[in-house]
Amino acid sequence: MNVNWVRLFNNKVSDLEYSDHWNIIKDDNLLPSRSPTGWNFYKTSSFARFHCSTCPNKWASAKALIIFSMRLQNGEGEVKVRFCKQQCRQNHAVEANFVEPVFDEENIKQVLNRLIAKIQQRCYHESIGKRTTWCESNVKVQGPHEKKHCEACKLGICTEES
């Protein structure tokens, strides 16, 4: 798992007013439909870049999907995260790999702020008065959404219109 995510997550949870220990791990098989009881599911998206692993092509997405599942039990908080991958649209002799999004630190922080708000609501039953808002990046994103290159579409959890 990307060290920035872990470091920034640890920073954020240390600000919580509770003594529980929280941990974040990557789970590439995480699915909303498979969330067992006791786990809280949360889905969000953020601006990210993708780099093809087969050719030099790079692209950006304003709504790279991230899914989380979290649970607090006996003083141990666990968060599982899955980053939905995308596939290069260039022609490849062999089908290109689906690759993970790369997020800027600023975007990671915004995502984590929303995640922590969810943890406060669902795991600590705090009422969060103000809605967490975020500004979408105004970076121009190329082309329409192509479902066949989107892992979230394949999983049936994508919110993006084609």
Interface with Zn ion by CB under 5 A: which residues? 52, 54-55, 57, 88, 90, 96, 150, 152-153, 158, 160
CB of residue 14 to Zn ion, shortest distance in Å: 34
What gap in Å lies between CA 108 and CA 45, rounded to an integer?
10
Neighbours of 1 (CB within 10 A): 12
Distance from C-alpha of 3 to C-alpha of 153, rounded to nearest angstrom: 27
Decide whether 12 or 149 has the Cβ nearer to Zn ion.
149
Task: For Zn ion, give the closer residue by CB, 43 or 122.
Answer: 43
Pick 4 or 57: Cβ nearer Zn ion: 57
Residue 26 corresponds to which tokens in the numbers above?
Answer: 């990557």
Closest distance of CB 57 from Zn ion, Å = 4
Q: Which is nearer to Zn ion, 71 or 85 (CB)?
A: 85
Helix axes 105-122, 3-14, angle to 10 degrees: 50
Close Cβ partners of 81 (under 8 Å, ≥ 6 residues apart): 1, 5, 24, 25, 26, 27, 30, 66, 67, 68
Nearer to Zn ion, 87 or 107 (CB): 87
Report which DSSP code applies to 90.
S
Give CA torsion, residues 90, 3, 13, 63, to 10 deg.
Answer: -10
- Shortest Cβ distance from residue 48 to Zn ion (Å)? 13
In angstroms, give the least distance from the CB of 16 to Zn ion.
Answer: 33
Q: Minimal distance in Å, beta carbon 38 to Zn ion?
A: 29
